[in-house]
Structure formats: C-alpha cells, structure tokens
Amino acid sequence: MTKKTIQIMLVDDHLLFREGMASLLQRDERFEILSEADDGISALEIVEEAMPDIILMDVKMPRMNGIEATRKLLGKYPDLKVIMITASEKDEDLFEAVKAGAQGYILKTVTDSQYMRDAIWRVAEGEAIIPPAMAPRLLNEFSTLSKGKFVKKKEKKEPIEEIIEEKEISLLTPRENEVLELVAQGLSNKEIAKGLVISVNTVRSHLRFILDKLHMNNRVQAALWYQEKKTP
C-alpha cells in the first residue's frame, strides 16, 4: 500500500478548473499539489525541475495538447503516471490517450468527488481508470485496428503471422498469463491478489514484467492486447 503523500501536477489551460481541482485534492491528506501548468509545453519544462507522481492532464490545450504532451513525457519519464481529465467523450481522444500511455481517463462531468479522489489514488497504486461506458468502444477500436493489421500480414505470408503471435504469447509465464487474464476482466490489483492467493505487491511485480515483455505502457494496453488475442 502506498504510504507517502502523492504529489500531483495539474495541467489545464483553465485557471478556474485548476483551482477547483487543487481545492478538492488538498482536502484529502493522501494528495499534495506539487505544481501547475497551463499547456503541454509548460508541463514539459516544469517536470524537469520538479517530478510529480501523477499528472492530471487536460486533452485540449493551446500550443501543445495533452495527448502530445503525454507522449513526450512518458517517452522521457516512463515511470510517470498520467491521467487525462477532460470533457471530451470522443472515441478518438480516448483511443489516442491510451496509445500515448495514459493510465487513466476521467471525464470532467463526474460529479462524485470521492470517485475522483479514489480514481487518482488507484492509479497511484498501479491500476488504470477508464469510464465504464467508454471501455467497450475502446476495446472495439483496438480490435478493429488489430484485425486490419493482421489481414495485411496474412495476405503476405500467413505462417509468419502465426509465429509472431505464438512468440508474443510464449513470452509470458503461466502465472503472468493468469494475472493478465484477470486484468482484462477489469479486476483491481487487490481482487487479483485475493483470487490468486498472492500479495498485492506480487501482482504489481507480475504486471511490471508483463508490460516490459510486451513493450507496453500500461495495463489498459495489455488488457486490450490480451482481449484481442482471445477473440476468434
């Protein structure tokens, strides 16, 4: 369990929203507001001087949007966690945010402040947050993209595609496959630990190895990859 205060960076071009989020989080002893920025370029500059644990990032901003900023930040600081806090329910924004490596996607329309705080805490604990209503659309988008990609490869040489898929799957140990299957079902780290009778720290270790082996940024990407592999 995370014991230290989670240091937060707020990145949004609307001052009133930043002030509102800061006020909300400062009432929770689990969080500390470390810094603020009003666009992606400023965020990149500020992070170099003070590294937060989590960045709450708006999608639509001037100069550099949140998705591009997330891509650049995680390319340089892969252990950093980014949550997109946005009013956008567009499928393409969610899709691009996950591809960029965001660990969570929370809509600004959320009115439950406890949900907001707990969601941020869960990401700090290594989980991922996607609005339930958007999850099926995300899975469908990745699945469609993957099927299109595989069709092109199969037209060239089907046996090679089968070897590639088999190699990807064989990278994971049986236990890692079990963990990934439960992640793909939407279970939290605590639920996975209980189901497999292992510690939460062991679950986190398995997830780190899974992401390293599959060259992925977060559990959302890994879960979608697993779902696609299991889809006939």
* Helix pair angle (135-170, 91-100), 10° resolution: 30
Structural domain spans, the chain: 6-124, 135-230
pLDDT value at residue 115: 86
pLDDT tens by residue, 127-183: 777 766 665 556 555 555 444 443 333 344 344 344 334 445 567 888 888 888 888
135-230: same fold as 6-124?
no
Instruction: Indicate the helix (H) or strand (E) that contains 203.
Output: helix 200-214
pTM, 2 dp: 0.66
Mean pLDDT of 94-110: 82
pLDDT tens by residue, 175-224: 888 888 888 877 778 888 888 998 888 888 888 888 877 777 777 778 77
Of 3.30.9.10, 1.10.10.10, 3.30.70.580, 3.40.30.10, which CATH number belongs to 135-230? 1.10.10.10
Instruction: Indicate the helix (H) or strand (E) that contains 45.
Output: helix 40-47
Q: Which CATH class is domain 6-124?
A: alpha beta
Instruction: Indicate the helix (H) or strand (E) that contains 150.
Output: helix 135-170
Is residue 139 within 8 Å of 227, Cβ to Cβ? Answer: yes
pLDDT value at residue 33: 95
76: exposed, middle or buried (Cβ count in 10 Å: 0-12, 13-18, 19+): exposed
pLDDT tens by residue, 43-67: 999 998 999 999 999 999 989 999 9
- The torsion angles phi and psi of 110, rounded to 5 degrees, stand at -60, 130
Give the number of residues written for the chain.
Answer: 232
